[in-house]
Structure 1
């Protein structure tokens, strides 16, 4: 571990004392730091002191899409000038995001960011690696016992070759002893082989679940402080490799029309840091989004001159990256840390909308190892009475699908996968997209009890004639819908009318029965019928379109 010590000053009347407060994951590996003291005579001596092993604690983690903001804290014990070391941090820290804040009457000096490797990084061994090492040692012990057992067996097998047996009694006794010892050693070998196989399986599982147990590189941040009383220093930084995504389950009961939707968050991280028992906030903001809008492009017109287009580039000054800037916050500035945990966890997530950004604060502390495993937690639940109907688009598919409205849908829920259950049966998967579901409803799969049959689908062209300047085309579509349910159902049928994009093309439409909505959901040309279809009853829907256009033209459909 390295730390920055204060430079000695020979201009002070009193000796200047520097102490080092370090973090170490293994106290046995701490190296003895030294206290640099300047005595009045002007000579400097190195006085060994005992370092205070203060492991930094994680006070809050906010997870976005692709990265996380982490807040850590280290205590300041004693008075005077000290260098605090935040060690064993992720190698994926963004240096530009590092900032330091001190609480109380504390002065902040320089902040140093280092990347350590080799032996120093090996000291940052996580619990996963410790478990792997323990299991490796256990497997080595079993293998040693097994090898010794095989040697013993080989010795017994060769014992008669090197021993002279003179009497029958001695031969019988030796034979019985050899049989007993051979049976015992064979039994022991079988038991050791079983233990070895189980130990290998356990080791493989630990290795699979601890892919980041030992880091090749780690980040270390050293903060120089001066204080007159005990306090603490907070370190804020952003780290790549963490993300969360929402997932939803929608459960529909078609008998009582109840719809229940559960929103969950699936969290995973491979930052290089193991987050054990930490407070988590999930944010719907995407930090990789574009932060500025585009300017309109001005068209410049000319008639008699051909001018080359001139590209104007606005180059924004780049900050020099030789030394990563560190933001230092004064002690007087306030910071909103993690809320005090309730005495008994309720597991009810609180949410807050900040002008379009939703934050979910998990009430319980969560452990998320840095091995990519998924941690799932419920963040919201909504339920209520839904409007149900069956929807069919017979020109595309002769089938009908269950649909439900959800008045409690909210744009605060981010887009994600949507698992669908109808009457306690898993139907399939869709997407939660607020605008689409709000307009069209939530689809819950095909209904085999609503039969759709095509009756007519034909095109007819009229005769042009010698003096006829117009030709016509007639399209007729008819479909029959039969309700085989034991109760009445609400049926919605969607169809599309031809739309003319030329003034010389005329379209007339006739629908039986009359349509309920034209330009359905603001989609030009889409029409809809909506009606109640009684049990065991059938309904025919028919549309006739007549298209007229110039006889010397060809009709194009796109």
Structure 2
């Protein structure tokens, strides 16, 4: 019997030292986060450390325990259980505060009950059969009045105090209920270790119920042409545990994306089947088509989370360290963080594209691409302190950054009716010809000279039998604006009140019997 109890005694002697530690640092990326928790360790030989009350939502395969110098780690056991079976997890500062207020409320309820008993006695005083009925009525009535008044006043004060306690308890109990619903099950780690001195363990794990997205604000001073571009971030998480007073870092890394390239496919050439069998072959090919590929990790992330992880596509990874310490609760509420700002030297001009947006010119600030990494995100635009709208900042690999700050109402743009003329040319009318004439009139209503840029899409032939002759007046500053074939750009500076006419004439020639796409109708 003694030999049978020995293992039990040894197991009880090695029951773990309780520890939960604190969340010290969190690295948040689109679609997840890595949490680092510090757990204190006391010096001792062959001790079992019990790290309890952890959220079950983290990825168990990502768990890492990094020992400090002088600490040897043995086996690690991960256990999950219902919250109700772990009463030790109801000892947080929130639980202690709720218990304290509930104790005060119960004491008030007991005192109110005593006052109710006293009032009942006073109400029944002098009723039939009471020995006090023989007491002189005047003195007794006055004494009853004073006692009843004091009791009622005290009761009213107690009720007010009880209502105040209920108001304090309501948000606390709601917060506790939120945490309980978020974590119906909790995890416990049992770590066997040997520590030569008092130190800390660093516990690291990943979770998917978190993320961040960038938000930008651009401020334009139209008088000086200066632009201030501010970085902001919105962070939220619903991991089941609050991040209180943590060091927060934001990363553009996307661990849930594919980590490598798919294998290249050979480039094959083949002859098309005869037209009579083309349809049947197409049916065969369709029937033999491979099954669709499984949903990518990125698609899964977008389905699971409320964060648009696609806005980071094509950008290099970087990290932002948020100064100070930050608290992010686990209720999914987004918090805004400022990540700094840069000043841009911009060229201010009014840009118009009369073919797509007749009569409108937009104020645009052209600047060089800012240094660093700028993940795509929402952009809020302010002109001279007034909010003018929002768009999307997507720097990508562009060398130049265009920031639009709404319409310029002091530039008047009108389009003349388009002129068309068709005819035949070549040997016995073998070729057709179409002439198109466009013209625009621009007037500067500003009180100062202003730079105006007019964009014009000229026809671009995609076949050697299609010929295009273009004439512009005046000559555009660029015939291939931003390296785009066929996009011409007039860029001129107009004096106050000055008017300028811009015209484009095209002669389009093509085989008479050919079907041509893109011709104006």
TM norm structure 1:
0.72
Mapped to 1, the partners of 2:398 and 2:464 lie a distance apart of 36
Mapped to 2, the partners of 1:209 and 1:250 lie a distance apart of 41
Q: Judge conservation of contact 1:102–1:232 (CA < 8 Å) in 2.
A: yes
Q: What displacement does 1:229 show? A: 3.2
Unaligned runs of 5+ in 1: 1-7, 11-35, 313-354
- Which residue of structure 1 aligns with residue 217 of structure 2? 249
Deviation digits for residues 379-428 of structure 1 (CA, Å, limit 9, x no counterpart): 12111432111110111112111111233623512111111111000111
Of residues 475, 479, 484, the one that matches 1:523 is 484
- Which residue of structure 1 aligns with residue 309 of structure 2? none
- Which residue of structure 2 aligns with residue 225 of structure 1? 193
Of residues 246, 257, 262, the one that matches 1:294 is 262
Report whether the alignment pairs 1:435 with 2:402. Answer: no
C-alpha distance 92-469 of structure 1, shift in aligned 2 (>3 A): same
- Which residue of structure 2 aligns with residue 422 of structure 1? 383
Q: How many residues align?
A: 480
Q: What displacement does 1:211 show? A: 3.0
Q: Judge conservation of contact 2:231–2:339 (CA < 8 Å) in 1.
A: yes
C-alpha distance 480-48 of structure 1, shift in aligned 2 (>3 A): same
Partner SS, residue 259 of structure 1: strand
Mapped to 2, the partners of 1:144 and 1:276 lie a distance apart of 37
- Which residue of structure 1 aligns with residue 170 of structure 2? 203
Of residues 229, 236, 240, the one that matches 2:208 is 240
Report whether the alignment pairs 1:113 with 2:78. Answer: yes
Partner SS, residue 417 of structure 2: strand
Q: What displacement does 1:102 show? A: 1.5
1:299-378 to structure 2, matched below 5 A, reads: 299=267, 356-378=316-338
Partner SS, residue 25 of structure 2: strand
Q: Which moved more, 1:258-267 or 1:203-212?
A: 203-212
Q: What displacement does 1:228 show? A: 3.4
Q: What displacement does 1:302 show? A: 7.4
Q: Judge conservation of contact 1:486–1:535 (CA < 8 Å) in 2.
A: yes
Deviation digits for residues 90-124 of structure 1 (CA, Å, limit 9, x no counterpart): 21111111122212232211111111213245643
Q: Which moved more, 1:190-199 or 1:240-249?
A: 190-199
Q: Judge conservation of contact 1:152–1:185 (CA < 8 Å) in 2.
A: no
- Which residue of structure 2 aligns with residue 383 of structure 1? 343
Mapped to 2, the partners of 1:543 and 1:135 lie a distance apart of 81
Q: What displacement does 1:441 show? A: 1.0
- Which residue of structure 2 aligns with residue 470 of structure 1? 431
1:503-514 to structure 2, matched below 5 A, reads: 503-514=464-475
Q: What displacement does 1:452 show? A: 1.1
Q: Judge conservation of contact 1:146–1:193 (CA < 8 Å) in 2.
A: no
TM norm structure 2:
0.76
Report whether the alignment pairs 1:280 with 2:248. Answer: yes
C-alpha distance 196-254 of structure 1, shift in aligned 2 (>3 A): same
Report whether the alignment pairs 1:548 with 2:509. Answer: yes
Relative to its length, the structure with more helix (as a share) is 2
Q: What displacement does 1:130 show? A: 6.1
C-alpha distance 513-46 of structure 1, shift in aligned 2 (>3 A): closer
Partner SS, residue 441 of structure 1: strand
C-alpha distance 496-9 of structure 1, shift in aligned 2 (>3 A): farther
Q: What displacement does 1:227 show? A: 3.3
Partner SS, residue 456 of structure 1: coil
Deviation digits for residues 303-331 of structure 1 (CA, Å, limit 9, x no counterpart): 8999998989xxxxxxxxxxxxxxxxxxx
C-alpha distance 310-433 of structure 1, shift in aligned 2 (>3 A): closer
Mapped to 1, the partners of 2:117 and 2:230 lie a distance apart of 62
Of residues 71, 74, 77, the one that matches 2:39 is 74
Q: Judge conservation of contact 2:19–2:49 (CA < 8 Å) in 1.
A: no
- Which residue of structure 1 aligns with residue 179 of structure 2? 212
Of residues 52, 57, 73, the one that matches 2:22 is 57
Q: What displacement does 1:515 show? A: 1.0
Partner SS, residue 390 of structure 1: strand
Q: What displacement does 1:232 show? A: 3.0
Mapped to 1, the partners of 2:119 and 2:439 lie a distance apart of 88
Of residues 86, 89, 93, the one that matches 1:124 is 89
Mapped to 2, the partners of 1:366 and 1:142 lie a distance apart of 38
Deviation digits for residues 136-180 of structure 1 (CA, Å, limit 9, x no counterpart): 88888999999999999999999999999x9xx989x989x99x9
C-alpha distance 45-528 of structure 1, shift in aligned 2 (>3 A): closer
Q: Judge conservation of contact 2:352–2:455 (CA < 8 Å) in 1.
A: yes
- Which residue of structure 2 aligns with residue 262 of structure 1? 230
Q: Judge conservation of contact 2:16–2:50 (CA < 8 Å) in 1.
A: no
Q: What displacement does 1:63 show? A: 1.0
Mapped to 2, the partners of 1:45 and 1:297 lie a distance apart of 63
Partner SS, residue 482 of structure 2: helix
Q: Judge conservation of contact 2:18–2:51 (CA < 8 Å) in 1.
A: no
C-alpha distance 44-497 of structure 1, shift in aligned 2 (>3 A): closer
Q: Judge conservation of contact 1:145–1:192 (CA < 8 Å) in 2.
A: no
Q: What displacement does 1:444 show? A: 0.9
Report whether the alignment pairs 1:91 with 2:52. Answer: no
Mapped to 2, the partners of 1:9 and 1:381 lie a distance apart of 72
Q: Judge conservation of contact 2:241–2:330 (CA < 8 Å) in 1.
A: yes
Report whether the alignment pairs 1:405 with 2:366. Answer: yes
Partner SS, residue 319 of structure 2: strand
Q: What displacement does 1:455 show? A: 2.0
Q: Judge conservation of contact 2:94–2:172 (CA < 8 Å) in 1.
A: no
